[in-house]
Amino acid sequence: MMTKSEIAKKLTALKKELKSSSLIAVTKYSPLEEVVLAYEAHQYDFGENRVADLALKAGDFLNAERSKVRWHLIGHLQSNKVQTLFKIPNLYAIHSVDSIHLLEELIKHESALVVPEVKFFFQVNTSHEVEKSGFESKEELNRAVELIMKRPSSKLKFYGLMTMGTIRTAEFEVSAQRCFKDLASIAHQLEVSFGLKNKLKLSMGMSQDYKIALSCGSDFIRIGSALFK
Ligand SMILES: *Cc1c(COP(=O)(O)O)cnc(C)c1O
């Protein structure tokens, strides 16, 4: 496990690169103690892949009154986990709304949310790799946005788009840049078509490609392995 000063050093170095974007520290491989050290080093945004892990860590944070924490779900969400997710204290954002079906489940259960509102991102499969989730077609994405725009008073706040760069390729930099530019352009098209007043946020970039993502205008980078070894 890393020490507090090692974590603090890495956080400081990473945050220097960020300018106005935000860092989500991805804790899926980290024990709770390591997450606490990062929190004590003033990192408050944390991402987890699985609802069960998120619920456990969030419960511990609540008991210890670490109330500045903001939890982000970044992994695929199964419909049958939505109600558990909505009971999580300090849930801040869901980055992985990857289908209309899932959006409908979120809407159906929104009154179960224990937080006043939760931000969410539509995940877009810009790399078209079969093992990745996400919206595949612009038509389907448009229908999802229409659905949420019809419900302006919802506790679910449409906040932006998320994607992952291609992993398995010799030239991952080139592919990642293409994925990130695609996401920025899809977001722009949605802003224009739906007359969105607030600019859509972009959640893109992980340890291996976050510099590329930042150069493409990312608002949230999600970093695990480059932060916690
Ligand atoms: C694991 C994960 C990350 C962080 O990946 P690293 O390569 O460890 O930085 C970011 N986003 C998602 C969706 C992930 O599953």
pLDDT of residue 141: 98
pLDDT of residue 144: 98
DSSP 132-167: --SB--HHHHHHHHHHHHT-TT-SEEEEEEE-----
8 Å CB contact between 31 and 38: no
Distance 224 CA to ligand 1 centre (A): 6
Distance 195 CA to ligand 1 centre (A): 32
pLDDT of residue 152: 76
8 Å CB contact between 2 and 37: yes
Distance 194 CA to ligand 1 centre (A): 30
User: Would the pTM of this model clear 0.75, i.e. be above it?
Assistant: yes
pLDDT of residue 55: 97
Closest to 182 in 3D by CA, of 219, 127, 105: 127
pLDDT of residue 19: 85
Ligand 1 pocket test, candidate residues 124, 206, 223, most atoms within 8 A of CB = 206
pLDDT of residue 130: 82
pLDDT of residue 229: 78
Distance 65 CA to ligand 1 centre (A): 27
* Mean pLDDT in order along the chain per 10 residues (229 residues): 94 94 96 96 98 97 97 97 97 98 96 96 93 92 96 91 85 91 97 93 96 97 94
